[in-house]
Amino acid sequence: MGGSDVYFGALSLVLGFVIALVVIVVARRDAAATRARVDADLRRARVEVAELDRRAAGLRGRLADADEREARVEAELRVQRAAAESMLRSRLEDVADLTAAEARERLLEEVRPGFERDAAMLRRRLERFAREEGEDVARRVLATALARMAGPSSSQLAVTRVELPSDELKGRIIGKEGRNIRSFEALTGVNVVIDETPDVVLLSSFDAERREIAAVALEQLVADGRIHPGRIEAAVAEAEAGAEKRRLLAGEAAAHDAGVGSLHVDLLQTLGALRLRTSFGQNVLAHSVECAQIAAMLAADIGADVTVARRAAFLHDLGKAASAETPGTHALIGVDMARRAGESDAVVHAIEAHHEEVPVETVEAFLVMAADAASAARLGARRDDVDAFVERLEALEAVAAAHPGVRRAIAMAAGRELRVVVEPSEVADVDLADLASAVARHIESDVRYPGEVRVTVIRELRATATAS
């Protein structure tokens, strides 16, 4: 049994080896056949690619020839077209006995009168329509804006009311033998009117700044309760020192009412000063706020720049806050102020053009002009006699101030009295009567005034010493 097993085992190994050889031989024969077929296919593909390349080269050559022939044909056509046009033009000129330019000019001469007549008729129709329609639209827009702007009369009087907590204070304001009221009037330059009206004192002066300082000082005195010449002098000094702050607060309040947003502090100070300026009795700052509101409504109605119109209208009278010594018109002075404060070119131009001192170039500038005129022309807004009255009183003060030694001149009692304060070091007591007469003669010769003007010359000599 052992020997047979060994025999069969050896036979199995030999058989397995033979089978493996057979498989290898067959696999090599198949691989060789496959390689031969792939090589044959590659050779055929190379031949076909070479044929395609040859054909493509031939096609490219024929396309290049076709492009060249097309270019030659187009060039020949252009030459032939130009020749045909030249020949046709020449034949037409021969037949019409005219050159092309002459024919064109003759044709224009024939049709021009008709066209010009039609154009003129059309222009007249358009102008008439634009004028009628524009006036209707302008009236409607302006009427709507003014109806919405229900502003009160802004005429400013020459009297300021000061409310008193008690009527008993009137006696203290007058003081013993009138010394308090005389001191107050001399320091402030206003008339203090104390009548039978309960709990009210009236301050009268043509100068709004003097009235404001007097009102602030009197309110301080009333609140403090101590009323005597020394305290009066201190209260007036405090009121004068607070003028800058009051200007700034007034400018900020006006800017808020006008809706213009932020402004440079210099502009706010200048605008605040306008609260004490009037034009024909109309408060200039109130007029500026009103103009800003009107211009903004007009700009919104016609589609213009509301911000520019509002801002320029609010700032258009800036120059009126300048002193009389500043050269130039108020429009040009205002332009310089606005430009230094960094306002835009559009706003500056509208300010400059609002009295047509320069050509108007923008719609917003026209709106500022319209708002200015509408605010000034509104019923009750202005009174011509107020400015004439103020000019007469200013002329009285200027005449007195021109004399040597005069420190201050104050027109009071509606111009019926002129108080002249002199420098004690320059005018002696014995010269007071002569100075009063000289001022009176000067007024008679240079100033037009109704009635009489009483001239009072005041010389006050003070001596101060400090004990330590």
Least confident of 289-298, 315-324, 353-362, 426-435: 315-324
In which band, very low, low, confident or very high, does the pLDDT at 93 lie, cut at 50, 70 and 90? Answer: low
- d(C-alpha 385, C-alpha 374), whole Å: 20
DSSP 76-107: HHHHHHHHHHHHHHHHHHHHHT--HHHHHHHH
Q: Does residue 290 fall inside a structural domain?
A: yes
Is residue 140 pLDDT above 70, yes or no?
no
Best CA proximity match to 392, nearest among 436, 451, 322, 433: 451
Which residue matches tokens 């490219």?
Answer: 60
Q: Of the candidates 213, 241, 269, which is a domain's last residue?
A: 241
CA distance 160 to 192: 10
Are 368 and 393 found together in one domain? Answer: no
Which of 123-127, 288-292, 392-396, 407-411 holds the top average pLDDT? 288-292
Q: Which candidate, 118, 183, 257, places its Cα nearest to that of 421?
A: 183
* Tokens of residue 71, six digits: 């270019």
> Residue 362, Cβ neighbours under 10 Å: how many?
18
Query: What angle is formed at CA 306 by the lines to CA 305 and CA 309, rounded to 5 degrees?
Result: 85
Q: Which of 322, 387, 377 is nearest to 158 (CA)?
A: 387
Q: Which of 22-26, 95-99, 418-422 has the highest mean pLDDT?
A: 418-422
pLDDT of residue 155: 43
Which helix (H) or strand (E) segment holds residue 454: the answer is strand 454-459
Among residues 327, 326, 329, 298, the alpha carbon closest in space to that of 312 is found at 298
Is 152 among the domain residues?
no
- Region 381-388: what's the mean pLDDT? 54
What confidence score (pLDDT) does residue 154 get?
42
Instruction: Please identify, among 323, 348, 382, the residue that sits at the C-terminal boundary of a domain.
Output: 382
pLDDT of residue 380: 52
- pLDDT tens figures, 355-382: 888 888 888 988 888 888 887 766 555 5
Specify the DSSP element, H or E, that contains 289. Answer: helix 284-302
| Residue 18 vs residues 8, 9, 26, 29, 38: alpha-carbon distances, Å | 15, 14, 13, 17, 31
Q: Which pLDDT does position 14 carry in this prediction?
A: 74
What average pLDDT does the chain have?
Answer: 79
The CATH number covering residue 427 comes to 3.30.300.20
Instruction: Indicate which CATH number applies to the domain containing 217.
Output: 3.30.1370.10
Report which residue type is found at 187. L
Judge if 259 and 366 occupy the same domain: yes
Answer yes or no: is 305 within a domain.
yes
pLDDT for 310 equals 92
Q: Which residues contact 400 (CB under 8 A, 6 or more apart)?
A: 406, 409, 418, 420, 439, 442, 455
Neighbour tally for 47: CB within 10 Å: 10
Residue 263 domain-assigned? Answer: yes
Separation CA 202–CA 224 (nearest Å) = 19
Is 116 a residue whose pLDDT tops 50?
yes
Q: Nearest-CA neighbor of 287 among 296, 299, 297, 277?
A: 277
In a domain, residue 40? The reply is no
Listed residues 382, 417, 446: the one ending a domain: 382
Q: Which long-range contacts (CB under 8 A, 24 or more apart) does 443-448 make?
A: 443/396, 443/399, 443/418, 446/395, 446/399, 447/392, 447/395, 447/396, 447/399, 448/392
Cα–Cα distances in angstroms (integers) from residue 349 to residues 321, 336, 463, in the given order? 19, 11, 56
| pLDDT digits 0-9 by tens, 149-187 | 544 444 445 678 888 888 888 888 888 888 888 888 888
Residues 218, 169 contacting (CB under 8 angstroms): no
Together in a domain, 441 and 409? yes
HSE-up (13 A, CA, CB side) for residue 208: 20
Stated as kind and residue range, the H or E segment containing 418 is: strand 417-422
286 and 399 in one domain? no
The answer on 310 and 374 residing in a single domain is: yes
Same domain, 283 and 352: yes
Are 426 and 359 contained in the same domain?
no
Q: Is 419 helix (H, G, I), strand (E, B) or coil?
A: strand
- Classify residue 247 by burial, with Cβ atoms within 10 Å: 0-12, 13-18, 19+: buried
> Do 319 and 403 lie in a common domain?
no
- 295 and 358, same structural domain? yes
CA dihedral 168, 174, 178, 179 (to 10 degrees): 120
Is residue 96's pLDDT more than 80? no
Q: Kindly report, residue by residue over 388-443, the tens digit of the pLDDT.
A: 667 777 778 888 888 888 888 888 766 778 888 888 888 888 888 888 888 888 88
> Strands across the sheet with 159-163, in order?
159-163, 200-204, 191-193
Whether 448 is covered by a domain: the verdict is yes
In this structure, are 222 and 262 located in the same domain? no
Of the chain, the end-to-end C-alpha distance in Å amounts to 156
Q: Is residue 196 part of a domain?
A: yes
Asked whether residue 126 is domain-assigned, the answer is: no
H/E run at residue 203: strand 200-204
State the total domains in the chain.
3
For residue 237, give its domain range. 159-241
pLDDT of residue 153: 41
Tell how far CA 188 is from the center of its chain: 38
**CA–CA separation, 115 vs 234, rounded Å?**
84
Q: Which residues pair with 459 in a beta bridge?
A: 422
Reported as a single tens digit per residue, the pLDDT across 221-254 is 888 888 888 888 898 889 888 888 888 898 889 8
Residues 6+ apart with CB under 8 A from 405: 422, 423, 426, 427, 435
Same domain, 409 and 454: yes
Which two structure tokens, joined as six digits, stand for 338?
Answer: 């606005």
Instruction: Give the percent of the chain with pLDDT over 90.
Output: 2
Q: Are residues 404 and 327 in the same domain?
A: no
